Structure 1
């Protein structure tokens, strides 16, 4: 009887996405293309999100500067042709301070005013990070160095489930605090799959006097195996129930898209209920899912209902 009452109450509740005012902002992450076809795919994704007036879009940077030129060209094109505020990723990996400074100066000359500053990881999975003998040893040092070049807006990374290299959760928060104190203006989190993970992390960050915006990073999952590899690399917990949701959909891409959008949108709606109004989407250069989630949260193209 109690189960039936509970079910009836649940059925009578309004839709999770009914009448949302669209009071969110979103940013989107892309990676630089390797081929002309990938360039077309990326540009299609950029144009899809352009009318949502994103807070910014960011472009990743390969280990050891392996995508340095492509990252620069992609960011410059987004600024010049799409008219969007674009942030370029920059890491400490395999670069001297002089080389990093030269890259930053080139970004500034190209109109880039926002950098996502990361320590970065070694190119070989599982290998420890080893600083360049003449380079920056941490994201904190990188932030300070960038601000010596120009008054960049700087975003750094945060880890709700603790960075794999951190001694403990508190030391990881202390490291985040040092990056903020060095001059970073916001932090974007590694992806996660449980709203409470982020909300607890936000509370602990506030206790550590971290007062800048903490923006949850959202990864819409269509390929569970790929997402699990990503999670293992960054220390994120991948719930087993995701496997069950996608079981049997290997040959049904449209169904996978629907399931992925539903799961990620539910996560975002729970975060919204927890007071979150800023979201960062890891698009993997495909914007359809992120666009759909923003739409369900009430976001509309410029000129439509906001």
Structure 2
């Protein structure tokens, strides 16, 4: 990689494993459409408590057979060292060299006693580094508006720094719609000596009810002015999506103009909204 490549923004897409044969067939079409613009990698999520672990592994294996760089999510909650060790060996055998290491969530209805051997993502990062040294590029999560379970932003930032000190190479943020929150988080992290790339997570707006539910659960703020506009469209999906596109397009432009090292798109297994942003941003393949 030359010096120019090192400073070129990197773009990546997130997928989730399908649950049905129909979903699998649709996802393969979506992946082909997204792959045409040559993202740096695709990440593949894993459900709470490893509930989609097999689906994640199968989706990753299919992506690799297509020659696509892939980063599986690996959540530590509900896992034990032997399970993690086996997954890492399996991914390594497929030529996977990037892991998104997360704490993850317990499935609903289970108690904290089911959390497994790892409590926090920094412990998982330490384990991966101890087992595989530099074999994997490790991504971790960051929260510009701070994690909903953290008592305050300062504590959340300390938790993020622990993941970096444990051996993380770069970070992907929770989605947000306020560029100042991202830049403020990056500035605060740099003040603490954190120098790894922090890539903004981007969520296209296509369904307000779904977005509001996600945002309330994960602590991502939808600005009040945007909520009012989105609520006002009601069942007018065409107008809602046109407005949502402009909101996210403006956000992406502000982030890239401000020096963000790339963008990570939460595609929700759809190609259209992300590719429209890609085209309007003038991103090259």
1:141-290 counterparts in 2 under 5 A?
Answer: 141-150=123-132, 151-247=135-231, 249-290=233-274
**2:115 aligned with 1:132:** yes
1:78-93 counterparts in 2 under 5 A?
Answer: 78-81=63-66, 83-93=67-77
Aligned partner of 1:47 in structure 2 is: 32
The answer on whether the counterparts of 2:208 and 2:231 sit within 8 Å (CA) in structure 1 is: no
- Number of corresponding residues: 276
The answer on whether the counterparts of 1:121 and 1:129 sit within 8 Å (CA) in structure 2 is: no
Separation of aligned partners in 1, 2:95 and 2:57: 11
Aligned partner of 1:69 in structure 2 is: 54
1:168: Cα distance to partner? 1.9
Cα distance per residue 1:64-119 (max 9 Å; x no partner): 211111100101111112x2110000111212111121122111112221110000
TM-score normalised to structure 2 length? 0.90
Aligned partner of 1:18 in structure 2 is: none
The answer on whether the counterparts of 1:104 and 1:149 sit within 8 Å (CA) in structure 2 is: no
Aligned partner of 2:107 in structure 1 is: 123
Compared CA separation, residues 130 and 213, structure 1 to 2 (3 A): farther
CA RMSD in angstroms comes to: 1.9
The answer on whether the counterparts of 2:13 and 2:42 sit within 8 Å (CA) in structure 1 is: yes
Separation of aligned partners in 1, 2:139 and 2:72: 10
Compared CA separation, residues 205 and 40, structure 1 to 2 (3 A): same
1:131: Cα distance to partner? 6.2
The answer on whether the counterparts of 1:93 and 1:119 sit within 8 Å (CA) in structure 2 is: yes
1:258: Cα distance to partner? 2.5
Separation of aligned partners in 2, 1:196 and 1:80: 40
Separation of aligned partners in 2, 1:117 and 1:98: 16
Pair member with larger Rg: 1
1:208: Cα distance to partner? 0.8
Where relative contact order (Cα < 8 A, 6+ residues apart) is larger, the structure is 1
The answer on whether the counterparts of 1:121 and 1:128 sit within 8 Å (CA) in structure 2 is: no
Q: Which runs of 5+ in 2 are unaligned?
A: 1-7
Q: Which runs of 5+ in 1 are unaligned?
A: 1-22, 302-306
Compared CA separation, residues 195 and 145, structure 1 to 2 (3 A): same
